[in-house]
Amino acid sequence: MDNTEPRFTVNEILDRYQRDCLDELAPRTRKDYLRHIPVLRRWFGERVADDLRPRDFGPFLDIKRGYHQRKRQLAVLSSAFTNAVSVWFTMERNVLRDVKRKPGNARTRLVTDEEYDSLYVMAPLRVQLAMELAQLLGQRQSDILNLKWSQIKGGAIRLQQGKTGKRLAIGLSFRVKKALGKCAQLPFGGIEYVIVTRAGTPYTPEGFRAIWQRTMKKWVEETGAERWTFHDLRARAATKCRTPEEAMRLLGHSNISMTLRVYRRGEEQVQSH
């Protein structure tokens, strides 16, 4: 009788991870993981998972460009290995716990009022509206573009964040109401999505990103200023909040450490005793 325990390849573990675990993730996270998994299969798929050693991941991480992308990909593999060890019992241990990865540096770019206003003036109308809602609501680009009129009720914007699933009800300030009013006046506006294309359809992430990049390129060429990302508007919103706690609630974070480390980019005002 053969008592040899089965030995699973990385491909087999990733197969089960995709089947059993990905549906539990937020749509944006699931999409990212599905993009990373083919890379992991190419590098490690045929290897027996329990035979892997920390040194086997050195060549994967030893590239001059894209290190942080590779680090994110290994985080996906580590999650799959954790399930294999402690849920499915198909691995002895998660070897990636012994693979040291350099911590990423938190982004510090703070968009000033002058920079915001300067780009806003030259941006197309729909980019202006997306910018204004992003800096006032503090939400990710995908949540701004997917916002529907049906989510605005009871004096608040009620949304479920696409990345985390966090539910928020954000009160309507005067500036938010003014921006929403402009959105409603767009051709085909006020029907389903808050920000729509000229054809009345919602923007795809790729479509809006292309318009944003053209706008930013023109702004940098004309002003000579340092470029910034649409996501920096989320940090601008957090920084403009009166307190870190208020910023944490607006951004939908479960704890304040992420808010402070990544999104509060201005000086914290404190009073001496």
Please report, in tens digits, the pLDDT of each residue of the chain (273 residues total): 445 678 999 999 999 999 999 998 877 788 899 999 999 999 999 999 999 999 999 999 987 668 888 999 999 999 999 999 999 999 999 999 999 888 767 789 999 999 999 999 999 999 999 999 999 999 999 999 999 999 999 999 999 998 888 999 999 999 999 999 999 999 999 999 999 999 999 999 899 999 999 999 999 999 999 999 999 999 999 999 999 999 999 999 999 999 999 999 988 777 788
Distance of alpha carbon 123 from alpha carbon 118, whole angstroms: 9
Whether residue 271 lies inside any domain: the answer is no
Is residue 4 included in any domain, yes or no?
no
Question: Shortest CA distance to 230 belongs to which of 248, 214, 246?
Answer: 214
For residue 247, the SS3 value is helix
Which pair of tokens denotes residue 98? 């012994």
- Domain containing 202: what range? 113-263
- Do residues 93 and 121 both lie within one domain? no
- C-alpha dihedral, 65 to 71 to 73 to 74, nearest 10°: 140
List the one residue out of 80, 84, 41, 79 whose CA is nearest residue 60: 41
Provide the H-helix boundaries in the chain: 10-20, 27-44, 58-61, 67-86, 113-122, 125-137, 141-145, 174-184, 205-223, 232-240, 244-251, 256-258
Residue 60 to residue 62: CA distance in whole angstroms: 6
Q: Please give the model's pTM, rounded to 2 decimal places.
A: 0.74
Confirm if 225 and 232 have CB atoms less than 8 A apart: no
- What is the predicted pLDDT for the residue at 65? 67
Same domain, 149 and 236: yes
Q: Quote the CA–CA distance of 250 and 176 in Å, as a whole number.
A: 14
Query: Which residues are within 8 A (CB) of 153 and not within 5 positions of it... i.e. 6 or more apart?
Result: none
Q: For residue 85, what pLDDT is reported?
A: 95
Full 3-state SS string of 144-212: HHCCEHHHEECCEEEEECCCCCCEEEEECCHHHHHHHHHHHCCCCCCCCECCECCCCCECCHHHHHHHH
Give me the CATH number covering residue 220. 1.10.443.10
**Domain match, 14 and 134 both:** no
Residue where one domain finishes, among candidates 98, 121, 151: 98
44 & 174 share domain: no
Domain closes at, from 98, 125, 156: 98
Please count the structural domains in the chain: 2
Q: Do 149 and 253 share a domain, yes or no?
A: yes
> What's the pLDDT at 40?
97
Residue with tokens 């928020």: 168
Residues 54 and 183 in one domain: no
Domain-embedded: residue 200:
yes
Structure tokens, 197: 């294309």
Indicate whether 136 and 162 sit together in one domain: yes
Are residues 93 and 130 part of one domain?
no
Q: 131 and 251 share a domain?
A: yes
Beta strands across the sheet bearing 152-153: 152-153, 156-160, 167-171
- 147 and 246 assigned to the same domain: yes
Q: Do residues 92 and 183 share a domain? A: no
Q: How far apart are CA 117 and CA 111, in angstroms?
A: 10
> Cβ-count burial of 84 within 10 angstroms (0-12 exposed, 13-18 middle, 19+ buried)?
buried
For the chain, the straight-line distance linking the first and the last C-alpha, in angstroms and rounded, comes to 77
**128 shares its domain with 244:** yes
Distance CA 237, CA 106 (A): 17
